[in-house]
Structure 1
Amino acid sequence: MPVAEHILRHAAESPSRVALRGPRGSLTYAELAERVQGGARHLRGRLQGRGALVAIALEDPVELLAAVLAADLAGVTPLVGDPGWSPERWARVAAAAGADLRVGEPLPCVPGAPPAPDPRPDDRAWACFTSGSTGRPRAVVRTRASWTRSFPHLCELTGIGPADVVLVPGPLVSSLYAFAAVHTLAVGATALVPGGRPASAELRAATAIHLVPHRLPEVLEQAPGLRTAVVGGAALSPRARDLAGRAGVRVVSYYGATELSFVAFDADGGGMRPFPGVEIEVRAEPGRALGEVWARSPWLAEGYLGGAKGPLRRDGQGWMTVGDLAEPYRAGQVLRVRGRGDGAIQTGGATVVPEDVEAVLRKVPGVGDIVVIGSPHPSLGSVVTAVVEGACPPPRALLEAVARGGLDVAQRPRRWYAVPALPRTGSGKPARGLVADRLAGGDPEIRRLV
């Protein structure tokens, strides 16, 4: 069933219940249903054929969700991107993904008869961008069934229901926060969508929250009514879980990826177990202590739009991986994830592909070559770190200016180093792992750029 149909049902049963509360106002379920139906009629007048792709770039999270749900009801696929991108970047990434229409203003509410949806489980019902440089857009697309049929499992694990007020304190361009908002509306609860860091009134009103681990401790101090915290995007420390327990907040943490959706969860601090419906394998090469995490489930994405390349791989038997590494695993055991095998960096809930950052920074005059790695950070998990090759590297100010112009916030390096010559593999490629080891070991040849 489309999420939009859940909205229509909630509007009939509880029309005055607040569905969405954002930085510019609120919508009841009745008001949201009217907006969704009117927006769906508008989209049907602009687009022909099932599965057309609509790129949505709206700053107001309430307007964005109304447009997404209108696309859902109209039978087209919403592609959610960053409203802060320039028109030139939007044109580039939308074209690469194959978008048929871009929505940059709130959808008009066209009057008329209710649209008659013809939903199918294999409809492409959601697409979002992963972190990528200006020249390398990467959009993940998933079917309706992979999106909505996990909702009951999440409800059972978290206890989130219609009486809850769920705080979603992050940008909806992130699949973590987008899923949280759509799930909240599907169950008939109230979604608080500030679009970023929440105000104190929103924290006080929340009974449940979705967030990344490093933000949990500060939230616990300001949200006295909080009952449940759903935590994803990086590993949750035992200290943070203990803090939540002392505050009377139940924490459900999970491991997954934009491409894989839910893979495993931990509802009590006992370790990660397979999410309902998920099979897990850890495949290690002979002699290796760690192996790649492979998952097979109904929740997997279809892949990348427009033929984009990324870490997602399939094996032909329904199994998929994004290259995450874990300790050996057998069914019934705890899954112990150790990081990305392809060098991807998990920082504050975002996934950053080093090659994307390197492609932008290599264009800076004076950069001979560059390696981007993740350096450990106590609250963000890792921070993006750049090591520039060259005897006379460009000034840090120039590097940072180029990063601001060509990279998303999560992708921009926070630490900068220079080295006369990068270590290289036998084929001549920079040896990323050796760079990380030398930096961690305090190699005197690697100096900090200030």
Structure 2
Amino acid sequence: MIVLLSGDAPDLLDRVRAVHEAGDIPLVGDPRWPRAQWEAVRDLSVRAGSPADVAWAALSSGSSGNPRIVLRSASSWEASFGAVSELLDASADEAVALPAPPASSLSLFSIAHAFAGGPRASLGSFDGSDVTCMHGTPQSLRAILEAGPPPGLRTALIGGSHLDDGLREHARSAGIRVIGYYGAAELSFVAVDHGDGLRAFPGVDLSIRGGQLWVRSPFVASGYAGASGPLRRDGDWASVGDRAELTDGRLRLLGRADDAILSASATIVPEEVEEMLRSVPGMRDAMVFGLPRERVGMLVAAFVEFDADPAGDLREIVNTRLAPAHRPRQWFIGELPRTPSGKPARAEAVRRVVNGEVPRLAV
């Protein structure tokens, strides 16, 4: 059966190990959840019963905010432990820093890896001399760099959302090798980026069908507990609906198919506009989405977060680099909302904009 644990338990790692070794399925929740979310996850856990051949349960909300419980066999994670150990370049005598909450699937993966002989999982404090690597999101890497990284930190394995070149260079200047990757709670590792673009993770085959990414991999999850989700299967192949392009072995992600913005006669892929906005000097991050508007369908809007004032006129930069249909018509400014693991929370950003909780930016 699934055993729901709170991520703030002081003996969490011991409790996860005990549940796992007893043959039950550990699932870690986030103590910051409101009561209603705890009850919803607990209800899903109970209704799932005791699924066969399942060793781990991880949470996935993507950017929607609605939690799903992803069920995994032991082998679906174990099959990638060897490749991940090589990427981290760390032994069992060393520690991997896990800045993302243990409720996130990437942290729970590293906890499972530690139990199987990977580097020891370090939660909460990362200043120990044995911390030589980290596994987290771009947001957590940025926070570690700004706070001053542990002196022994030499490798960062980064997934969850866009990793910009400036952050990678900042880490490199601090003596940290950054390895980016694309994955999903349902698919685990899909593609890895050593600095020259995303390529298939060892053991994974990639295919583009109708503009969407499909993978053939031993790392795919078994399914969901008591609810449906984006995972689809076709024989040995699986997809979660991410749009992508594959050119000369390099993978370029274009976001989920249902995030596309239909405005007048144009289809706008938010990730393409976001990529351009993040290249503006002074811009820390950006999120692009559609707002309903009569006659044109959706209006392109941008929620932006700055490190410093942009260098140059933002309107001129946008007009020079983007086609008219792709230019945001409404702008909002502030700190982007994020999931507990540090991923941009798209649904929450749109909710705040619609409810007038985010100031407008004149561009």
TM-score normalised by the chain length of structure 1: 0.57
CA distance in 1, matches of 2:284, 2:42: 30
Amino acid at match of 2:199: R
CA distance in 1, matches of 2:31, 2:143: 27
Amino acid at match of 2:55: A
Residue in 2 aligned with 1:314? 233
| TM-aligned CA deviation for residue 303 of structure 1 | 1.3
CA distance in 2, matches of 1:129, 1:447: 27
> Cα 1:298–1:132, aligned 2, differ >3 Å: closer, same or farther?
closer
**Structure 1 segment 1-40 matched on structure 2, within 5 A:** none
- Corresponding residue to 1:273 among 199, 208, 220: 199
Residue in 2 aligned with 1:334? 250
Residue in 1 aligned with 2:329? 442
Residue in 2 aligned with 1:225? 152
1:253 maps to 2:169: no
Q: Does structure 2 conserve the Cα–Cα contact (< 8 Å) formed by 1:132 and 1:138?
A: no
Q: Does structure 2 conserve the Cα–Cα contact (< 8 Å) formed by 1:55 and 1:99?
A: no
Q: Does structure 1 conserve the Cα–Cα contact (< 8 Å) formed by 2:203 and 2:218?
A: yes
Amino acid at match of 1:163: D
CA distance in 1, matches of 2:38, 2:242: 30
Residue in 2 aligned with 1:191? 121
**Structure 1 segment 62-77 matched on structure 2, within 5 A:** 62-77=10-25
> Cα 1:132–1:230, aligned 2, differ >3 Å: closer, same or farther?
closer
Number of equivalenced pairs: 295
> Cα 1:448–1:256, aligned 2, differ >3 Å: closer, same or farther?
same
| 1:326 counterpart SS class | strand
| TM-aligned CA deviation for residue 87 of structure 1 | 4.3
> Cα 1:262–1:248, aligned 2, differ >3 Å: closer, same or farther?
same
Amino acid at match of 2:92: P
| TM-aligned CA deviation for residue 236 of structure 1 | 1.8
Structure with greater strand share of residues: 2
Residue in 2 aligned with 1:283? 209
Amino acid at match of 1:262: F
Residues 131-181 of structure 1 show CA distances to partners (whole Å, capped at 9, x for unaligned) of 289995421111110022211111122212123222111211111122123
- Corresponding residue to 1:243 among 170, 180, 185: 170
1:293 maps to 2:213: yes
| TM-aligned CA deviation for residue 435 of structure 1 | 6.8
CA distance in 1, matches of 2:208, 2:45: 32
1:83 maps to 2:61: no
TM-score normalised by the chain length of structure 2: 0.70
Residues 289-344 of structure 1 show CA distances to partners (whole Å, capped at 9, x for unaligned) of xx1111111100111111x22222112x12111111212345xx111222222229
Amino acid at match of 1:206: V
Amino acid at match of 2:228: K
| TM-aligned CA deviation for residue 241 of structure 1 | 2.2
1:140 maps to 2:56: no
Amino acid at match of 2:240: V
Residues 264-304 of structure 1 show CA distances to partners (whole Å, capped at 9, x for unaligned) of 1123x1221111111110123xxxxxx11111111001111
**Structure 1 segment 394-413 matched on structure 2, within 5 A:** none
CA distance in 2, matches of 1:313, 1:128: 18
Q: Does structure 1 conserve the Cα–Cα contact (< 8 Å) formed by 2:163 and 2:180?
A: yes
* RMSD, matched Cα: 3.5
| TM-aligned CA deviation for residue 188 of structure 1 | 5.3
Q: Does structure 2 conserve the Cα–Cα contact (< 8 Å) formed by 1:181 and 1:193?
A: no
- Listed as ranges, the gaps of 5+ residues in structure 2 are 261-269, 303-323, 332-352
Q: Does structure 1 conserve the Cα–Cα contact (< 8 Å) formed by 2:159 and 2:180?
A: yes
| TM-aligned CA deviation for residue 184 of structure 1 | 3.2
> Cα 1:100–1:271, aligned 2, differ >3 Å: closer, same or farther?
closer
- Listed as ranges, the gaps of 5+ residues in structure 1 are 1-51, 102-121, 285-290, 345-372, 390-418, 425-430
Residues 28-85 of structure 1 show CA distances to partners (whole Å, capped at 9, x for unaligned) of xxxxxxxxxxxxxxxxxxxxxxxx222222422x523222211211111122222333
1:211 maps to 2:108: no
| TM-aligned CA deviation for residue 125 of structure 1 | 1.0
| 2:251 counterpart SS class | coil
Percent identity reads 39
Q: Does structure 2 conserve the Cα–Cα contact (< 8 Å) formed by 1:311 and 1:342?
A: no
1:54 maps to 2:3: yes
